Amino acid sequence: MPRQTTAYIDLEALRNNYRTACARAGSAAAMAVVKADGYGHGIAQVALALADVAPKYAVACIEEAEAIRAAGISQPVVLLQGVHACDDLGDCERRHFEPVLHSEHQLDWLARFERSGDFPRFWLKINTGMNRLGFRPDDLHAVMARLEKLGADSRLLGFVSHFACADDSNSPMTATQTTTFEAATSSWPELMRSVGNSAAHFIPGQPLFDWSRPGIMLYGGSPIIGKTGPELGLEPVMSLEAPLITTRVVKAGETVGYGGAWIADQDTPMGMVAVGYGDGYPRHAGTGTPAAIGGRRIRLIGRVSMDMLAVDLSDAPAARAGDSVELWGRTVGVDEVASCAGTISYELLTGITRRVPRNYLKHLA
Protein backbone atom coordinates (compact mmCIF):
# COMPACT_ATOMS: atom_id res chain seq x y z
CA MET A 1 0.00 0.00 0.00
CA PRO A 2 1.41 3.44 -0.87
CA ARG A 3 1.93 5.94 1.95
CA GLN A 4 -1.09 8.21 2.29
CA THR A 5 0.78 11.46 1.65
CA THR A 6 -1.56 13.21 -0.79
CA ALA A 7 -2.48 16.61 -2.17
CA TYR A 8 -6.28 16.75 -2.21
CA ILE A 9 -7.56 19.21 -4.79
CA ASP A 10 -11.02 20.71 -4.39
CA LEU A 11 -12.15 21.59 -7.91
CA GLU A 12 -15.38 23.17 -6.69
CA ALA A 13 -13.33 25.61 -4.59
CA LEU A 14 -11.29 26.37 -7.71
CA ARG A 15 -14.47 27.15 -9.63
CA ASN A 16 -15.71 29.38 -6.83
CA ASN A 17 -12.43 31.28 -6.84
CA TYR A 18 -12.69 31.73 -10.60
CA ARG A 19 -16.19 33.14 -10.11
CA THR A 20 -14.77 35.52 -7.50
CA ALA A 21 -12.14 36.65 -10.02
CA CYS A 22 -14.85 37.29 -12.63
CA ALA A 23 -16.95 39.23 -10.16
CA ARG A 24 -13.93 41.35 -9.21
CA ALA A 25 -12.89 41.87 -12.83
CA GLY A 26 -15.99 43.94 -13.53
CA SER A 27 -16.41 44.35 -17.28
CA ALA A 28 -13.09 42.63 -18.04
CA ALA A 29 -13.12 38.93 -18.94
CA ALA A 30 -10.79 36.70 -16.92
CA MET A 31 -8.28 34.40 -18.63
CA ALA A 32 -7.48 31.55 -16.25
CA VAL A 33 -3.73 31.37 -15.62
CA VAL A 34 -2.82 27.68 -15.37
CA LYS A 35 0.96 27.74 -15.97
CA ALA A 36 3.41 25.64 -13.93
CA ASP A 37 1.09 22.63 -14.02
CA GLY A 38 -1.86 24.66 -12.83
CA TYR A 39 0.26 26.11 -9.98
CA GLY A 40 1.03 22.53 -8.97
CA HIS A 41 -2.60 21.36 -9.01
CA GLY A 42 -2.45 19.51 -12.36
CA ILE A 43 -2.95 21.56 -15.52
CA ALA A 44 -5.33 19.16 -17.27
CA GLN A 45 -7.65 18.74 -14.29
CA VAL A 46 -7.65 22.44 -13.46
CA ALA A 47 -8.27 23.48 -17.06
CA LEU A 48 -11.07 20.91 -17.42
CA ALA A 49 -12.72 22.04 -14.20
CA LEU A 50 -12.93 25.58 -15.64
CA ALA A 51 -13.69 24.61 -19.24
CA ASP A 52 -17.37 25.58 -19.15
CA VAL A 53 -16.69 29.01 -17.61
CA ALA A 54 -13.26 30.25 -18.75
CA PRO A 55 -13.25 31.81 -22.23
CA LYS A 56 -9.44 31.76 -22.43
CA TYR A 57 -6.43 30.31 -20.63
CA ALA A 58 -2.92 31.65 -20.11
CA VAL A 59 0.28 29.64 -19.70
CA ALA A 60 4.00 30.41 -19.86
CA CYS A 61 5.09 28.21 -22.74
CA ILE A 62 3.84 26.18 -25.66
CA GLU A 63 4.22 22.77 -23.94
CA GLU A 64 1.71 23.91 -21.35
CA ALA A 65 -0.68 25.02 -24.06
CA GLU A 66 -0.33 21.59 -25.68
CA ALA A 67 -1.27 19.99 -22.36
CA ILE A 68 -4.52 21.95 -22.44
CA ARG A 69 -5.25 20.75 -25.97
CA ALA A 70 -4.36 17.19 -24.97
CA ALA A 71 -7.11 17.46 -22.35
CA GLY A 72 -9.56 18.09 -25.18
CA ILE A 73 -10.08 21.80 -24.51
CA SER A 74 -10.53 24.13 -27.47
CA GLN A 75 -10.46 27.66 -25.98
CA PRO A 76 -7.61 29.96 -27.07
CA VAL A 77 -4.49 29.78 -24.92
CA VAL A 78 -2.28 32.83 -24.38
CA LEU A 79 1.47 32.14 -24.23
CA LEU A 80 2.67 34.74 -21.73
CA GLN A 81 6.32 34.26 -22.70
CA GLY A 82 5.61 34.28 -26.41
CA VAL A 83 7.35 31.72 -28.59
CA HIS A 84 10.84 30.36 -28.08
CA ALA A 85 11.47 29.59 -31.77
CA CYS A 86 10.27 30.77 -35.18
CA ASP A 87 8.80 27.33 -35.97
CA ASP A 88 6.39 27.61 -33.07
CA LEU A 89 4.46 30.34 -34.89
CA GLY A 90 2.90 27.80 -37.25
CA ASP A 91 1.76 25.65 -34.33
CA CYS A 92 0.31 28.72 -32.65
CA GLU A 93 -1.74 29.51 -35.72
CA ARG A 94 -3.00 25.94 -36.15
CA ARG A 95 -3.65 25.32 -32.45
CA HIS A 96 -5.18 28.72 -31.57
CA PHE A 97 -2.38 29.70 -29.22
CA GLU A 98 -1.90 33.44 -28.81
CA PRO A 99 1.76 34.29 -28.15
CA VAL A 100 2.62 37.51 -26.36
CA LEU A 101 5.50 38.90 -28.44
CA HIS A 102 7.87 40.93 -26.32
CA SER A 103 11.13 41.40 -28.22
CA GLU A 104 12.47 42.56 -31.55
CA HIS A 105 13.88 39.11 -32.37
CA GLN A 106 10.36 37.69 -32.17
CA LEU A 107 9.27 40.21 -34.79
CA ASP A 108 12.19 38.98 -36.91
CA TRP A 109 10.65 35.52 -36.59
CA LEU A 110 7.34 36.88 -37.85
CA ALA A 111 9.24 38.26 -40.87
CA ARG A 112 11.01 34.92 -41.48
CA PHE A 113 8.03 32.74 -40.78
CA GLU A 114 7.24 30.52 -43.78
CA ARG A 115 3.52 30.43 -43.63
CA SER A 116 1.17 27.86 -44.98
CA GLY A 117 -1.74 29.69 -43.37
CA ASP A 118 -2.03 33.02 -41.65
CA PHE A 119 0.04 34.55 -38.88
CA PRO A 120 -1.15 33.41 -35.47
CA ARG A 121 -3.24 35.83 -33.49
CA PHE A 122 -0.86 37.49 -31.03
CA TRP A 123 -0.42 40.15 -28.38
CA LEU A 124 2.32 42.70 -27.82
CA LYS A 125 3.90 43.09 -24.41
CA ILE A 126 4.55 46.63 -23.25
CA ASN A 127 7.22 47.27 -20.64
CA THR A 128 5.66 49.77 -18.27
CA GLY A 129 8.22 49.37 -15.50
CA MET A 130 8.54 45.71 -14.56
CA ASN A 131 11.57 45.63 -16.84
CA ARG A 132 11.51 41.91 -17.49
CA LEU A 133 9.91 41.74 -20.94
CA GLY A 134 8.28 44.03 -23.44
CA PHE A 135 8.64 46.87 -25.90
CA ARG A 136 9.21 50.33 -24.57
CA PRO A 137 6.23 52.66 -24.91
CA ASP A 138 8.39 55.03 -26.98
CA ASP A 139 9.07 52.32 -29.53
CA LEU A 140 5.48 51.23 -29.98
CA HIS A 141 4.71 53.30 -33.07
CA ALA A 142 7.77 51.87 -34.82
CA VAL A 143 6.78 48.34 -33.80
CA MET A 144 3.27 48.88 -35.15
CA ALA A 145 4.67 50.23 -38.42
CA ARG A 146 6.83 47.14 -38.75
CA LEU A 147 3.83 44.85 -38.15
CA GLU A 148 1.88 46.66 -40.85
CA LYS A 149 4.73 46.23 -43.29
CA LEU A 150 4.77 42.51 -42.52
CA GLY A 151 1.02 42.30 -42.99
CA ALA A 152 0.75 40.94 -39.45
CA ASP A 153 -1.07 43.90 -37.93
CA SER A 154 -4.51 42.44 -38.65
CA ARG A 155 -3.66 39.48 -36.39
CA LEU A 156 -2.66 41.65 -33.43
CA LEU A 157 -5.23 41.21 -30.66
CA GLY A 158 -3.92 43.88 -28.35
CA PHE A 159 -1.51 44.88 -25.63
CA VAL A 160 -0.38 43.26 -22.41
CA SER A 161 1.56 44.62 -19.47
CA HIS A 162 2.42 43.27 -16.04
CA PHE A 163 2.59 44.95 -12.63
CA ALA A 164 5.69 44.81 -10.43
CA CYS A 165 4.19 45.79 -7.07
CA ALA A 166 0.46 45.08 -7.20
CA ASP A 167 0.76 42.92 -4.06
CA ASP A 168 1.64 46.03 -2.06
CA SER A 169 -1.31 48.37 -1.70
CA ASN A 170 1.01 51.16 -0.49
CA SER A 171 3.10 51.16 -3.64
CA PRO A 172 2.50 53.98 -6.12
CA MET A 173 4.02 51.85 -8.87
CA THR A 174 0.79 50.18 -10.01
CA ALA A 175 -0.89 53.50 -10.67
CA THR A 176 2.18 54.75 -12.53
CA GLN A 177 2.33 51.63 -14.67
CA THR A 178 -1.39 51.88 -15.42
CA THR A 179 -1.04 55.47 -16.59
CA THR A 180 1.98 54.58 -18.73
CA PHE A 181 0.08 51.67 -20.27
CA GLU A 182 -2.99 53.72 -21.07
CA ALA A 183 -0.94 56.48 -22.66
CA ALA A 184 1.19 54.04 -24.66
CA THR A 185 -1.80 52.20 -26.13
CA SER A 186 -4.26 55.07 -26.57
CA SER A 187 -3.59 55.40 -30.32
CA TRP A 188 -5.19 51.99 -30.95
CA PRO A 189 -8.54 52.04 -29.15
CA GLU A 190 -9.86 49.21 -31.33
CA LEU A 191 -7.32 46.75 -29.86
CA MET A 192 -7.73 44.90 -26.56
CA ARG A 193 -5.75 45.53 -23.42
CA SER A 194 -4.76 43.30 -20.53
CA VAL A 195 -3.05 44.20 -17.29
CA GLY A 196 -3.81 42.71 -13.95
CA ASN A 197 -2.65 39.61 -12.16
CA SER A 198 -4.63 38.36 -9.15
CA ALA A 199 -3.49 41.21 -6.93
CA ALA A 200 -4.95 43.81 -9.28
CA HIS A 201 -8.41 42.32 -8.66
CA PHE A 202 -8.17 43.53 -5.08
CA ILE A 203 -7.05 47.11 -5.72
CA PRO A 204 -10.06 49.42 -5.43
CA GLY A 205 -10.67 51.35 -8.64
CA GLN A 206 -7.92 49.55 -10.57
CA PRO A 207 -8.84 49.40 -14.28
CA LEU A 208 -8.46 45.89 -15.73
CA PHE A 209 -9.41 46.86 -19.30
CA ASP A 210 -10.56 43.95 -21.49
CA TRP A 211 -8.88 40.89 -19.96
CA SER A 212 -7.64 40.20 -16.44
CA ARG A 213 -5.20 37.38 -15.72
CA PRO A 214 -5.92 35.75 -12.36
CA GLY A 215 -3.49 33.03 -11.30
CA ILE A 216 -2.78 32.45 -7.61
CA MET A 217 -6.24 33.58 -6.50
CA LEU A 218 -7.82 30.69 -8.43
CA TYR A 219 -5.91 28.32 -6.16
CA GLY A 220 -6.86 30.16 -2.98
CA GLY A 221 -3.45 31.72 -2.34
CA SER A 222 -3.25 35.35 -1.35
CA PRO A 223 -1.84 37.82 -3.88
CA ILE A 224 -1.73 40.61 -1.29
CA ILE A 225 1.05 41.14 1.26
CA GLY A 226 -0.20 40.77 4.82
CA LYS A 227 -3.51 39.07 3.91
CA THR A 228 -4.38 35.39 3.64
CA GLY A 229 -6.49 33.91 0.86
CA PRO A 230 -9.51 33.28 3.13
CA GLU A 231 -9.28 36.88 4.40
CA LEU A 232 -9.76 37.93 0.78
CA GLY A 233 -12.77 35.64 0.31
CA LEU A 234 -10.83 32.89 -1.46
CA GLU A 235 -11.27 29.19 -0.77
CA PRO A 236 -8.29 26.89 -0.24
CA VAL A 237 -8.02 24.47 -3.16
CA MET A 238 -5.11 22.22 -2.19
CA SER A 239 -5.04 20.34 1.07
CA LEU A 240 -1.67 18.68 1.63
CA GLU A 241 -2.03 15.74 3.98
CA ALA A 242 0.34 13.10 5.30
CA PRO A 243 0.06 10.36 7.92
CA LEU A 244 1.62 10.25 11.35
CA ILE A 245 3.94 7.26 11.18
CA THR A 246 4.96 7.09 14.81
CA THR A 247 4.46 8.90 18.09
CA ARG A 248 6.59 8.99 21.23
CA VAL A 249 7.48 11.15 24.18
CA VAL A 250 10.71 13.11 23.87
CA LYS A 251 12.28 13.53 27.29
CA ALA A 252 13.27 16.93 28.62
CA GLY A 253 16.76 17.77 27.34
CA GLU A 254 16.58 15.46 24.29
CA THR A 255 16.75 16.83 20.78
CA VAL A 256 14.79 15.97 17.63
CA GLY A 257 16.07 15.64 14.09
CA TYR A 258 19.10 16.85 12.14
CA GLY A 259 21.49 19.20 13.87
CA GLY A 260 19.70 18.63 17.18
CA ALA A 261 17.99 21.86 16.20
CA TRP A 262 15.14 21.52 18.68
CA ILE A 263 15.63 20.67 22.35
CA ALA A 264 12.70 19.58 24.56
CA ASP A 265 12.43 21.83 27.60
CA GLN A 266 9.99 19.34 29.11
CA ASP A 267 8.74 15.85 28.30
CA THR A 268 6.89 16.37 25.01
CA PRO A 269 4.63 14.04 23.03
CA MET A 270 5.75 14.18 19.42
CA GLY A 271 4.91 12.53 16.15
CA MET A 272 6.70 11.93 12.87
CA VAL A 273 4.82 12.84 9.71
CA ALA A 274 5.57 11.22 6.34
CA VAL A 275 6.26 14.34 4.31
CA GLY A 276 9.42 16.36 3.74
CA TYR A 277 11.27 18.58 1.33
CA GLY A 278 11.44 15.65 -1.11
CA ASP A 279 7.72 16.17 -1.45
CA GLY A 280 8.04 19.93 -1.79
CA TYR A 281 7.34 20.81 1.83
CA PRO A 282 9.68 23.76 2.51
CA ARG A 283 12.83 22.98 4.49
CA HIS A 284 12.87 26.61 5.62
CA ALA A 285 9.71 26.05 7.69
CA GLY A 286 11.13 25.99 11.18
CA THR A 287 9.95 25.15 14.68
CA GLY A 288 6.55 26.72 15.28
CA THR A 289 5.25 26.43 11.72
CA PRO A 290 1.58 25.39 12.05
CA ALA A 291 0.03 22.11 10.91
CA ALA A 292 -3.25 20.51 11.99
CA ILE A 293 -4.60 17.19 13.09
CA GLY A 294 -8.32 16.51 13.33
CA GLY A 295 -8.98 20.23 12.86
CA ARG A 296 -6.66 21.13 15.77
CA ARG A 297 -3.63 23.26 15.23
CA ILE A 298 -0.25 21.80 16.18
CA ARG A 299 3.29 22.96 15.40
CA LEU A 300 6.42 21.66 13.72
CA ILE A 301 9.53 21.05 15.81
CA GLY A 302 13.11 20.72 14.58
CA ARG A 303 14.28 20.57 10.98
CA VAL A 304 12.29 19.28 8.06
CA SER A 305 13.97 16.19 6.57
CA MET A 306 13.63 14.89 3.01
CA ASP A 307 10.90 12.36 3.79
CA MET A 308 9.54 13.37 7.17
CA LEU A 309 9.10 16.09 9.72
CA ALA A 310 8.33 16.19 13.44
CA VAL A 311 5.33 17.75 15.15
CA ASP A 312 4.60 18.59 18.76
CA LEU A 313 1.47 16.69 19.83
CA SER A 314 0.95 18.47 23.18
CA ASP A 315 -2.28 19.99 21.82
CA ALA A 316 -3.46 16.74 20.20
CA PRO A 317 -2.83 14.10 22.88
CA ALA A 318 -5.15 11.55 21.29
CA ALA A 319 -3.24 11.50 18.00
CA ARG A 320 -1.75 8.19 16.97
CA ALA A 321 0.10 6.55 14.10
CA GLY A 322 -2.06 6.41 11.00
CA ASP A 323 -3.84 9.69 11.72
CA SER A 324 -3.78 12.24 8.95
CA VAL A 325 -1.94 15.54 9.43
CA GLU A 326 -2.87 18.60 7.38
CA LEU A 327 0.26 20.51 6.36
CA TRP A 328 -1.86 23.16 4.71
CA GLY A 329 -5.48 23.33 3.65
CA ARG A 330 -8.65 24.46 5.39
CA THR A 331 -7.35 24.66 8.97
CA VAL A 332 -3.83 25.93 8.26
CA GLY A 333 -3.62 28.30 5.32
CA VAL A 334 -0.89 27.82 2.72
CA ASP A 335 -0.11 31.54 3.12
CA GLU A 336 0.68 30.99 6.81
CA VAL A 337 3.09 28.17 6.07
CA ALA A 338 4.66 30.21 3.27
CA SER A 339 5.26 33.12 5.58
CA CYS A 340 6.84 30.82 8.20
CA ALA A 341 9.15 29.54 5.44
CA GLY A 342 10.04 33.03 4.22
CA THR A 343 8.33 32.57 0.87
CA ILE A 344 4.98 32.92 -0.90
CA SER A 345 2.18 30.44 -1.51
CA TYR A 346 3.09 30.37 -5.23
CA GLU A 347 6.39 28.68 -4.47
CA LEU A 348 4.89 26.11 -2.11
CA LEU A 349 2.03 25.15 -4.43
CA THR A 350 4.18 24.88 -7.56
CA GLY A 351 6.88 23.06 -5.61
CA ILE A 352 4.92 19.95 -4.64
CA THR A 353 6.88 17.17 -6.31
CA ARG A 354 5.76 14.27 -8.46
CA ARG A 355 6.09 11.90 -5.52
CA VAL A 356 2.87 13.31 -4.09
CA PRO A 357 -0.27 12.00 -5.78
CA ARG A 358 -3.01 14.53 -6.49
CA ASN A 359 -6.45 13.35 -5.51
CA TYR A 360 -9.33 15.32 -7.02
CA LEU A 361 -12.38 16.01 -4.94
CA LYS A 362 -15.24 16.85 -7.20
CA HIS A 363 -18.68 17.60 -5.95
CA LEU A 364 -19.82 19.52 -8.97
CA ALA A 365 -23.54 19.95 -9.41
Ligand X SMILES: *Cc1c(COP(=O)(O)O)cnc(C)c1O
Q: Does 215 bind ligand X (CB under 6 A)?
A: yes
CA distances from residue 152 to 85, 144, 149 in whole angstroms, order as listed: 17, 9, 8
With a CB cutoff of 8 Å and minimum separation 6, the contacts of 148 are none
Task: Outline where 71-139 has alpha helix (H).
Answer: 88-95, 104-112
Contact segment (CB under 6 A) with ligand X among 134-142, 210-218, 252-260, 321-329 equals 210-218
Residues 208, 30: Cα–Cα separation, whole Å: 10
In the chain, the largest separation of any two C-alpha atoms, in whole Å, equals: 78
CB closer to ligand X out of 81 and 255: 81
**Are residues 289 and 337 in contact, defined by beta-carbon separation less than 8 angstroms?**
yes
CB closer to ligand X out of 38 and 214: 214
Query: From the CB of residue 234, how many other CB atoms can be counted at a distance below 10 Å?
Result: 27
Contact segment (CB under 6 A) with ligand X among 65-73, 91-99, 150-158, 194-202 equals 194-202
Strands (E), 67-209: 77-79, 97-101, 122-125, 156-160, 192-194
| Secondary structure (3-state) at 22 | helix
Q: Which of 9, 33, 291, 340 is the binder for ligand X (CB under 6 A)?
A: 33
Q: Which of 38, 82, 223, 276 is the binder for ligand X (CB under 6 A)?
A: 223
* Active-site residue (options: 35, 219, 281, 346): 35
Residues 307, 310: Cα–Cα separation, whole Å: 11
CB closer to ligand X out of 5 and 177: 177
258 is catalytic: yes
With a CB cutoff of 8 Å and minimum separation 6, the contacts of 19 are 53
Q: Does 24 bind ligand X (CB under 6 A)?
A: no
- Which residues belong to the annotated binding site for substrate? 132, 306
Report the nearest approach of ligand X to the CB of residue 177 (Å). Answer: 13
35 is catalytic: yes
Residues 200, 204: Cα–Cα separation, whole Å: 9
Contact segment (CB under 6 A) with ligand X among 114-122, 168-176, 208-216, 293-301 equals 208-216
Contact segment (CB under 6 A) with ligand X among 82-90, 178-186, 209-217, 245-253 equals 209-217
- Which residues belong to the annotated binding site? 132, 306
Report the nearest approach of ligand X to the CB of residue 31 (Å). Answer: 9
Query: Per-residue x/- mask for ligand X, residues 152 to 171, rule CB under 6 A?
Result: ----------x---------
Q: Which of 80, 140, 300, 338 is the binder for ligand X (CB under 6 A)?
A: 80
Residues in contact with ligand X by CB under 6 A are 33, 35, 80, 162, 197-199, 213-216, 223
